[in-house]
């Protein structure tokens, strides 16, 4: 055939394909019957006014309405029902011959006093038994339970639809017969019948049998029940958006098990074909998919679907390649498994279709066995995995799925579902255990300690919740229990805190305890039993507490206990490892204490008695570390430090005299003898007195702004509120508002969403709609309140619209739905607390000029709608933001100006280190100040508080920011030569941003200029070289703010989200106090040509990218685990450096040991969080994409492997256009090293830059990978030239050179410390800041403890109490020496313990790591010039990484 003929044929085929795409199916029959109704609907018809009901319908049935209809249930057809309680009742529909969908609509409610649990009935149609003794009530409960178990959103399912497919033959009538069971009744709310194409499901292409000997047939005699119809990775598709058959396609999120993969989308039209006509499935099914993401050698993509057992099922799998990377056959081949049987060996979309955008479906039939013959529910598994015989792209994907139950002998009726069903799984047995260890209830001590916690924390929180919050979530979201902080997105998992402790399956626990064998029991109590068990492949001993169902502890208390205990991490407390809540169990898993608890060694025990000295050591530890929480609270009260254990969110908000009175009440309630405790009326009197003291203190508040304009508009509401006004009762709406908009309520409002203004909305779906507010001239805050829900059947994902105001474009083609998803995703990625964000506020600042009207215009996009829940307008001081002092430009050639022509969008307003501040607690402008926890990256510093009033000035008026902003801060803590204080803030790229930084010194230690100077960096550029608060203000308690403007570049011009970095670091030119701090932050996006509208945010998914291959490599170089030496060396580093630094901080930074409690111990400062993007140190090392690493290693080719270990493999690779050789360490997912350890390792190694250490170049954390990239040492390490190696032996002279270098440079960190100890030169490796400050005898004792902790064998290492004793002894030696020094050393002596002849700083005291052999000789230098301690950990001084 000629080229012309082929081209012409292609054009014809293309035209033919497009023609089919444009024509959905036109149903020949479509009935919508509203059963029991008396009022007509546009689409639904009243059943009794048709000929479909029998002539005696008035005597064989009656109509009714639900006693109390759930507001989330649609009115039609669920507001009425037809009840049959005497005999069979038949609907008779005249239809054409062919296949028909029959849909039955059920809402099990109470009708005319008949409760839903009394209803049992059967349904048949044209000789097929569809339902037998059916209970709609039990079915609804099962559906709700299934969704809850799967982590699904929303309330229980109170209504549902049963869909069947029946072929109507020559009778051309479809009969639907309802027969109530004896002493029961039948009911139906609605019936729908719709025809479908002849060969779409019936007599279609023959399905493939799975593990079957005979072919499966679906013909005119086969009836089907639709069980699942899923849109993989996409949104729910309503019946009106189907292809003419009104099928509903649900999301698949609730059925994906384990790894969830990615959900890419396709923006181009789908090219339907003759084989796959346009009515097969709607375009959105094929334009979205769930895919594995080219890493599926580690995972399966699995869906778990509960079905009735004892039936055949037809599964229709819809495929369509939408990934541009895949372009030809044999690139992506995967296997399809159904119930663990191979259904498709090699699925290759490009063998089945013509290419990208061409859909195809495949049908499979499988039998689901009924183990006991009762046809109970069993799980139907569908799994995809790359074909093991092919792996160019290790990927697999699926776009849609339909599952139909097939009739067996004209029967489709299964029993009613059993609630809380579980299929037992075999569990392995344990090895024989040794002698049981006596054990008491583990949680006893913790539970006792929680008594005071409940009084001093929980009651305080409840008291605080009474204060009204404005513009935020319901008060519960601020102070709710820990277990409800964030919902797990993993299916079949609970909402308990998996980020802080593990969730075990019941099978895991049974395996750990040998099926809860009595031989494993080590304790009893009213709560149940405690078992000793083993987890992690029988390597870790644990104590497992299984609660008895008859115990007084219920599910709520169980969840609360986990929420509390998962936050407690303390050396004196037994740690909670995890929990199990499978199958109604309540199980807690703790660390196992081999030597038991203190109580077991004191009372009624066969354990050897503790020595007096040991008991003294424990007493010292208890007194200093407050082992018991209750005792801790009492001690804090006696020491007068109650304010230091208050919830950080309340720091600075409680008047000292009020807290003192509260403490008196709390402590009196903890008296040992009940007769000494106060009566309840005395408690009430004491708390009321505390409240009076608080109210008296609060009368001294600072003045606030009296807004000249303040409007609160409740859009779409019909009921008035004390503060919010109904929009349609004002003159703010247009005169034609009734024809250009309508009001609606959410179909199902989330209980966490405040009622006002989110319980109603104004919907605009025809044309533009303008609100017009008469205001005074000047700057105004415009706040738009959005709750993307379903309104009047309009789903939130259908809403796209634009908003403008006074000529400024604020939002364009805006999706509140996508924005809410992005905010929820961002908070989830950041480790944030609380549920997903279902509502939010967009805040803008617009200067209203002489027009003195503020117009807000909503314009729906084509075929879409706009909505708004609430509008707020509030005036603000003239020069607070607009025409304020000129901001400083960052990396800009021209000055930045914010004037009357500049519109702003508030992006972030943060209270650093403090609680959230509600709008009502602002200074009259109702601004909400959020916590900064979710945005801090890496080291989090400390969060001190200030109890005194703030002294505002003319330059910083009292309305600038509320007092709590300036009374709290996040600070580094005088150790910032090692760290930066960094915030990462995702913003729209392609705009200028104004950052307002609020400062106020609140640390009493800092009293004059030049003590604490730090540098401010914005996006890695210096914004402020030397920030000195005492140069800017009059002193402590005086606030100041500084404004900066920076441009955030858009790399691809699409204005997508980019990270805005803010970092603080002590000025390198000054270091009296190495500290930096910030109190508050406001970030505003600035209009560009009257435009503020950025694209909708892109949600996180990853599409694989092509990777180039490497040039041929030469002979592999032997290589050992690179990081081994460094990791081992860090052990001593953590003891001899970090612990010493902590000890020094207690003295130098705060003056006394007591002062340290103001800030808390370093390890418990604040919860680790991860920002929107990776928060790893890209300023010190590079972040590689996975595609880069694959290119460097030739797709992780085994030919590139140069080392192995328990962590995984090490590869030799090439980066930077194959010019630089690197060593790439890829961690195995089964390794004991997790994400946190991976991040910590990078954080440490990225700071180490030294001639003796192999440098970390970068890392990769793409797609769940944990990969480190190092300098490649061509000649290997010293170890490789000495032990078990084929390398040529080193000459004796070279070995001597290395030995000399090792003696001078301390090659291995750990060995260096040990050697220093043996040589008696520990004083030479102490932090230079401590030189001369440690008594020699104290340092010697400290060394004994540290070295003992480095013993090779664990059994040789000291127990914790021995460590405590040793350190206590060292402290006593230090204190004794200091007493002597006070008497004999002059006050001006700076280093009282400086040894004779010792230098305070020397270059040769810098630590080093494993020696690298370069060019055949040792790389140890004769000089260490340039590697002094003040530059080894340089971070921001050199602002570019490698």
Binding residues for ATP: 545, 1225
- Supply the DSSP symbol for 851: T
Task: Note the helical H segments in 1135-1206.
Answer: 1139-1148, 1186-1192
Decide: residue 858, CB within 10 A, 0-12 exposed, 13-18 middle, 19+ buried. Answer: buried
Helix (H) or strand (E) holding 1358: none
Which run of H or of E encompasses 986?
Answer: strand 981-988
Beta bridge partners of 192: 32, 103
Q: Which letter does DSSP use for residue 399 in this model?
A: -
Judge contact between 973 and 1042, C-beta under 8 A: no
Estimate the crossing angle of helix 1336-1348 against helix 1309-1319, to 10 degrees. 130
Strands 190-195, 30-34: pairing kind = antiparallel
Peptide bond preceding 757: is omega within 30 degrees of 0, i.e. cis? yes
Q: Is 588 exposed, middle or buried (0-12, 13-18, 19+ CB in 10 A)?
A: buried
Name residues whose C-beta falls within 8 Å of residue 256's C-beta, 6 or more positions apart in sequence. Answer: 290, 301, 302, 303, 491
Structure-block tokens of residue 876: 């603000």
Is 1245:1223 a contact under the CB 8 Å cutoff? no
Three-class SS of residue 23? Answer: coil
Edge-to-edge strands of the sheet including 808-814? 769-774, 853-860, 801-805, 808-814
Q: CB count, 10 Å around CB of 1029? A: 22
Tokens of 1036: 């402590």
State whether residue 1350 is helix, strand or coil.
Answer: coil
Query: What is the phi/psi pair of residue 455, to 5°?
Result: -85, -50
Residues with Cβ within 8 Å of 514's Cβ and at least 6 positions away in sequence, in order, are 429, 430, 520, 533
Region label for 938, one of left (φ > 0), alpha (ψ between -120 and 50) or beta (otherwise)? left
Tokens of 119: 């209803």
CB under 8 Å to 611, separation ≥6 — which residues?
A: none
Instruction: Confirm if 590 and 565 have CB atoms less than 8 A apart.
Output: no
CA distance 1380 to 455: 45
- Pick the closest to residue 1358 from 1371, 1370, 1349 (CA basis): 1349
Whether the CB-CB separation of 887 and 898 falls below 8 Å is answered with yes
526: left (phi over 0), alpha (psi -120 to 50) or beta: alpha
Instruction: Identify which of 873, 855, 867, 906 has the alpha carbon closest to the alpha carbon of residue 786.
Output: 867
CA distance 1370 to 1176: 37
Strand pairing category for 1077-1078 and 311-320: unpaired
Contact between 992 and 1046 (Cβ < 8 Å): yes
Length of the chain: 1442
**What's the CA gap between 886 and 896, in Å, rounded?**
7
Rounded distance between C-alpha atoms, residue 517 and residue 1035, angstroms: 67
Is there a contact between 1292 and 1304 (Cβ–Cβ < 8 Å)?
A: no
Binding positions are 545, 1225
| Burial class of residue 119, CB neighbours in 10 A (0-12, 13-18, 19+) | buried
């Amino acid at each position: 055939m000629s080229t012309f003929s082929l081209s012409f044929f292609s054009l014809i085929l293309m035209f033919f394909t497009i023609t089919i795409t444009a024509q959905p199916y036109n149903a020949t029959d479509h009935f919508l019957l509203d059963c029991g109704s008396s009022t007509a609907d546009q689409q639904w018809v009243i059943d009794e006014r048709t000929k479909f009901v029998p002539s005696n319908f008035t005597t064989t049935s009656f109509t009714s309405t639900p006693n109390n209809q759930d507001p989330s249930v649609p009115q039609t057809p669920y507001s009425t029902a037809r009840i049959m309680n005497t005999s069979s009742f038949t609907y008779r529909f005249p239809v054409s011959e062919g296949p028909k969908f029959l849909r039955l609509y059920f809402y099990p409610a109470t009708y005319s006093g008949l409760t839903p649990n009394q209803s049992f009935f059967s349904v048949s149609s044209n000789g097929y038994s569809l339902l037998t003794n059916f209970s709609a009530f039990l079915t609804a409960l099962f559906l709700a339970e299934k969704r809850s178990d799967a982590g699904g959103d929303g309330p229980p399912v109170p209504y549902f639809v049963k869909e069947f497919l029946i072929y109507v033959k020559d009778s051309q009538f479809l009969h639907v017969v309802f027969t109530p069971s004896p002493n029961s009744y039948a009911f139906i709310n609605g019936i729908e019948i719709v025809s479908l194409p002849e060969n779409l499901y019936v007599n279609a292409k023959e399905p493939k049998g799975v593990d079957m000997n005979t072919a499966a047939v679906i013909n005119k005699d086969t009836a089907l029940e639709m069980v699942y119809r899923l849109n993989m990775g996409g949104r729910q598709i309503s019946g009106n958006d189907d292809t003419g058959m009104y099928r509903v396609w649900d999301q698949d999120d609730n059925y994906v098990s384990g790894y969830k993969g990615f959900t890419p989308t396709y923006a181009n039209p789908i090219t339907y074909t003759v084989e796959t006509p346009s009515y097969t499935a709607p375009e959105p099914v094929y334009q979205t998919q769930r895919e594995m993401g080219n890493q599926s050698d580690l995972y399966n993509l699995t869906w778990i679907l509960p079905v009735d057992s004892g039936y055949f099922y037809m599964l229709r799998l819809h495929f369509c390649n939408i990934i541009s990377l895949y372009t030809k056959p044999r690139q992506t081949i995967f296997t399809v498994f159904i119930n663990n049987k191979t259904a498709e060996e090699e699925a290759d979309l490009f063998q089945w279709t013509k290419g990208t955008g061409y859909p195809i479906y495949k049908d499979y039939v499988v039998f689901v066995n009924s183990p006991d013959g009762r046809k109970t529910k069993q799980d139907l598994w569908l799994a995809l995995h790359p074909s093991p015989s092919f792996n160019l792209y290790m990927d697999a994907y699926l776009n849609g799925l339909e599952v139909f139950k097939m009739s067996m002998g004209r029967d489709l009726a299964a029993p009613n579902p059993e609630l809380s069903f579980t299929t037992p799984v075999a569990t392995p047995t344990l090895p024989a255990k040794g002698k049981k260890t006596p054990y008491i209830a583990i949680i006893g001590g913790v539970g006792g300690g929680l008594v005071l916690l409940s009084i001093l924390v929980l009651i305080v929180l409840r008291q605080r919740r009474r204060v009204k919050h404005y513009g935020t979530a319901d008060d519960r979201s601020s102070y709710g229990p820990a277990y409800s902080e964030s919902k797990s997105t993993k299916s079949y998992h609970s909402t308990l805190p998996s980020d802080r402790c593990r969730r075990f399956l019941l099978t895991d626990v049974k395996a750990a305890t040998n099926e809860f064998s009595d031989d494993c029991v080590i304790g009893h109590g009213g709560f149940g039993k405690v078992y000793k068990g083993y987890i992690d492949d029988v390597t870790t001993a644990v104590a497992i507490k299984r609660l008895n169902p008859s115990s007084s502890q219920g599910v709520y208390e169980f969840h609360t206990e986990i929420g509390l205990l998962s936050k407690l991490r303390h050396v004196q407390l037994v740690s909670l490892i995890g929990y199990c809540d499978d199958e109604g169990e309540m199980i807690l898993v703790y660390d196992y204490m081999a030597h038991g608890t203190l109580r077991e060694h004191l009372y009624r025990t066969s354990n050897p008695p503790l020595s007096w000295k040991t008991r003294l050591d424990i007493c010292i530890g208890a007194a200093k570390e407050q082992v018991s929480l209750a005792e801790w609270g009492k001690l804090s009260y006696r020491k007068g430090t109650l304010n230091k254990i208050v919830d950080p969110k309340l720091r600075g908000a409680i008047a000292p005299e009020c807290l003192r009175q509260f403490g008196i009440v709390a402590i009196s309630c903890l008296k040992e003898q009940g007769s000494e405790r106060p009566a309840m009326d005395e408690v009430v009197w004491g708390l009321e007195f505390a409240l009076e003291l608080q109210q008296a203190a609060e009368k001294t508040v600072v003045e606030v702004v009296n807004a000249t304009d303040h409007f609160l508009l409740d859009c779409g509401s019909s009921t008035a509120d004390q503060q919010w006004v109904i929009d349609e009762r004002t003159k703010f709406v247009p005169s034609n508002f009734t024809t250009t908009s309508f009001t609606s309520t959410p179909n199902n409002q989330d209980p966490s969403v405040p009622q006002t203004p989110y319980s109603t909305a104004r919907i605009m779906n025809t044309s533009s709609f303008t609100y017009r507010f008469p205001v005074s001239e000047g700057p105004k805050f415009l706040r738009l309140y959005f709750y993307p829900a379903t309104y009047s059947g309009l789903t939130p994902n259908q809403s796209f619209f634009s908003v403008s105001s006074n000529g400024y474009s604020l939002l364009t083609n805006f999706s509140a739905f996508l924005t809410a998803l992005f905010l929820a995703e961002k908070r989830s990625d950041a480790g944030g607390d609380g549920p997903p964000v279902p509502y939010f506020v967009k805040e803008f600042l617009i200067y209203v000029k002489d027009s003195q009207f503020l117009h807000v215009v909503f314009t729906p996009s084509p075929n879409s709608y706009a909505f708004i829940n609430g509008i707020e307008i509030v005036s603000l001081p003239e020069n607070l933001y607009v025409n304020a002092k000129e901001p400083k430009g960052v990396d800009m050639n021209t000055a930045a100006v914010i004037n009357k022509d500049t519109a702003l969008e508030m992006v972030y307003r943060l209270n650093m280190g403090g609680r959230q501040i509600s709008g009502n607690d602002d200074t009259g402008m109702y601004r909400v100040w959020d916590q900064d926890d979710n945005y801090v990256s890496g080291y989090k510093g400390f969060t001190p508080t200030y109890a005194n009033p703030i002294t505002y000035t003319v330059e910083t008026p009292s309305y600038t920011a509320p007092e709590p902003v300036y009374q709290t801060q996040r600070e580094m803590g005088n150790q910032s030569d090692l760290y930066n204080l960094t915030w990462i803030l995702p913003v729209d790229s392609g705009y200028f941003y104004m950052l307002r930084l609020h400062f106020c010194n609140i640390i009493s230690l800092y009293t004059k200029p030049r003590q604490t100077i730090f540098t401010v960096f914005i996006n890695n550029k210096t914004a402020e070289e030397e920030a000195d608060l005492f140069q800017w203000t009059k002193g402590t308690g005086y606030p100041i703010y500084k404004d900066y403007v920076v441009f955030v570049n858009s790399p691809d011009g699409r204005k997508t989200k980019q990270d805005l970095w803010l970092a603080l670091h002590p000025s390198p030119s000054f270091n009296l106090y190495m500290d930096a701090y910030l109190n508050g932050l406001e970030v505003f996006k600035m209009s560009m040509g009257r435009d503020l509208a950025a694209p909708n945010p892109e949600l996180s998914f990853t599409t694989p990218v092509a990777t180039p291959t490497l040039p041929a490599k030469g002979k592999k170089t032997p290589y050992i685990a690179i990081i081994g030496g460094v990791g081992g060396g860090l052990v001593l580093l953590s003891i001899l450096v970090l612990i010493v630094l902590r000890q020094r901080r207690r003295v130098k930074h705060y003056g006394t040991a007591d002062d340290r409690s103001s800030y808390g111990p370093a390890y418990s400062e604040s919860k680790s969080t991860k920002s929107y993007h990776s928060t790893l140190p890209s300023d010190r090392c590079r972040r590689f994409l996975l595609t880069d690493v694959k290119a460097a290693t030739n797709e992780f080719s085994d030919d590139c492997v140069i080392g192995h270990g328990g962590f995984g493999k090490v590869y030799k690779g090439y980066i930077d256009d194959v010019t630089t050789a690197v060593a790439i360490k890829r961690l195995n997912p089964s390794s004991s090293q997790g994400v946190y350890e991976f991040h910590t390792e990078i954080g440490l190694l990225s700071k180490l830059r030294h001639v003796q250490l192999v440098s970390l170049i970068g890392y990769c954390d793409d797609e769940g990978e944990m990969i480190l990239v190092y300098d490649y040492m061509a000649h290997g390490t010293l170890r490789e030239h000495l032990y078990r190696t084929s390398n040529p032996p080193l000459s004796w002279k070279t070995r001597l050179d290395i030995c000399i270098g090792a003696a001078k440079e301390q090659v291995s960190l750990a060995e260096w410390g040990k050697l220093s100890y043996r040589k008696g030169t520990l004083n030479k490796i102490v932090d230079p800041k401590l030189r001369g400050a440690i008594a020699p005898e104290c340092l010697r004792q400290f060394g004994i403890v540290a070295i003992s902790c480095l013993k090779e064998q664990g059994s040789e290492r000291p127990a914790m109490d021995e460590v405590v004793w040793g350190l206590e002894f060292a402290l006593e030696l230090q204190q004794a020496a200091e007493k002597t020094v006070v008497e004999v050393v002059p006050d001006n002596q700076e280093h009282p313990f400086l040894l004779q002849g010792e230098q305070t700083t020397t270059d040769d005291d810098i630590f080093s790591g494993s020696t690298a052999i370069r060019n055949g000789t040792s790389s140890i230098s004769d000089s260490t010039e340039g590697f002094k301690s003040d530059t080894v950990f340089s971070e921001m001084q050199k602002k570019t990484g490698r």
